[in-house]
C-alpha cells in the first residue's frame, strides 16, 4: 500500500496527520488481500484490504467471499459497537469501504498480545464468549442474520464440509460418527439455545491485554448457531486445559446466566447446556 492510500484511509477514519505509512502484517487466506498496520507518529490503526478473484467458482472461494461480506457488516452496521457496549473487547470500527473487487475495513489496533490459553486464559476467553452470546441471544440472532451476519455461524458446519464428510472412514468409531453426523447437525440447528457465535474462537483469534482481559477479532464467520459450538471449539482447538473442561464449561454457563439475567432473560438449565455441549 502506498503512503497516499494509507493517508486517504486514515483521513476517512478521522485520524489526523500527513505522514501515514503502511506495513503489511499478514496475507489473507488464498491470497485474497492483505492486513496492514497504518502508522503516523505514535498512532496506529489496522486496515484489512480484501481483494477477491474475478471469479469465485469453488465452494471454498464463495465461502471466503461471503465471510468478508459478513465481517464488513459486523463492523459497518453496529454489531461490533454492541459488543463493545456489552464489555466485549473487539476492534473499534473506523471505516468500511466496499469496492468492485472486495472491501476495505479500517479498525482500531488492539493493544494486547497473544497469550497462553491455559486454564486462566480459557476462563476469561469463555467469559467473553458468554457476554457475546448473551448480547445476541434468541430472536436477536435472527435480527443480526437479517442485517448481514452469517445465516449459519462457524466455518465448519456440515453443509460446507461435503468433501470432508465424503472422505470419512466408514468403519470403526469414525464410521459410527459419520452415520450420526447429519442427525447431530440437525439436532444442533434445532437446539432451543441459539445466538450469534464468533464462529472461530481459537487461540489465534484472541489477544490478551496486560491485565489479562481477552480481546476478540476475526469476525468472518460470526452468525447464528448454537453457542455450545463456540464453547466446544474454544475448549478443543484453543485451550490447553482440557482436563478441566467440565469446570470451564460450568463457569461459562454461570457467566452466560449472569449476562442474560442482567437483561431480564431466563438462562438455559445447566444440564441442558452440558448435554448440548457433548454433541457440539
Ranges of H-type helices in 136-227: 139-146, 162-166, 172-189
DSSP 3-state of 78: coil
Rounded alpha-carbon distances, angstroms, from residue 221 to 11, 26, 133: 29, 19, 14
Q: pLDDT value at position 55? A: 77
**Which residues 6+ apart lie within 8 Å of 220 measured at CB?**
64, 67, 68, 70, 71, 155, 199, 200
pTM for this entry: 0.93
Determine the distance from the C-alpha atom of residue 267 to the mean position of all C-alpha atoms in its chain, rounded to a whole number.
22
For the chain, 280 residues long, give each residue's pLDDT as a single digit of tens: 999 999 999 999 999 888 899 999 999 987 889 999 999 988 999 999 999 887 776 777 778 888 999 999 999 999 999 999 999 999 999 999 988 889 999 999 999 888 778 999 999 999 999 999 999 999 999 999 999 999 999 988 888 888 888 999 999 999 999 999 999 999 999 999 999 999 999 988 999 999 999 999 999 999 999 999 999 999 988 788 888 999 999 999 999 999 999 999 999 999 999 999 999 8
DSSP 3-state of 209: coil
Beta carbons within 10 angstroms of residue 101's beta carbon? 10
Amino acid at each position: 500500500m502506498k503512503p497516499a492510500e494509507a493517508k486517504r484511509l486514515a483521513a476517512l477514519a478521522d485520524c489526523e496527520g500527513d505522514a501515514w505509512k503502511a506495513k503489511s502484517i499478514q496475507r489473507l487466506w488464498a491470497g485474497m488481500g492483505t492486513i496492514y498496520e497504518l502508522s503516523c507518529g505514535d498512532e496506529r490503526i489496522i486496515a484489512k484490504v480484501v481483494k477477491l478473484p474475478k471469479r469465485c467458482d469453488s465452494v471454498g472461494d464463495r465461502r471466503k467471499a461471503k465471510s468478508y461480506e459478513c465481517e464488513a457488516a459486523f463492523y459497518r452496521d453496529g454489531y461490533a459497537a454492541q459488543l463493545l457496549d456489552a464489555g466485549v473487547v473487539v476492534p473499534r470500527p473506523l471505516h468500511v469501504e466496499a469496492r468492485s473487487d472486495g472491501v476495505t475495513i479500517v479498525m482500531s489496533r488492539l493493544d494486547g498480545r497473544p497469550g497462553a490459553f491455559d486454564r486462566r486464559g480459557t476462563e476469561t476467553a469463555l467469559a467473553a464468549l458468554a457476554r457475546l452470546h448473551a448480547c445476541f441471544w434468541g430472536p436477536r440472532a435472527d435480527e443480526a442474520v437479517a442485517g448481514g451476519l452469517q445465516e449459519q455461524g462457524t466455518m465448519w458446519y456440515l453443509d460446507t464440509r461435503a468433501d470432508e464428510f465424503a472422505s470419512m472412514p466408514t468403519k470403526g468409531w469414525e464410521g459410527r460418527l459419520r452415520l450420526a453426523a447429519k442427525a447431530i447437525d440437525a439436532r444442533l440447528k434445532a437446539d432451543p439455545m441459539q445466538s450469534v457465535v464468533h464462529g472461530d474462537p481459537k487461540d489465534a483469534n484472541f489477544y490478551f491485554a496486560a491485565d489479562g482481559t481477552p480481546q476478540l477479532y476475526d469476525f468472518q464467520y460470526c452468525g447464528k448457531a448454537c453457542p455450545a459450538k463456540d464453547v466446544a471449539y474454544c475448549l478443543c482447538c484453543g485451550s490447553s486445559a482440557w482436563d478441566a473442561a467440565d469446570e470451564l464449561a460450568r463457569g461459562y454457563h454461570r457467566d452466560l446466566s449472569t449476562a442474560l439475567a442482567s437483561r431480564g432473560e431466563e438462562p438455559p438449565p445447566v444440564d441442558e447446556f452440558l448435554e448440548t455441549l457433548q454433541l457440539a
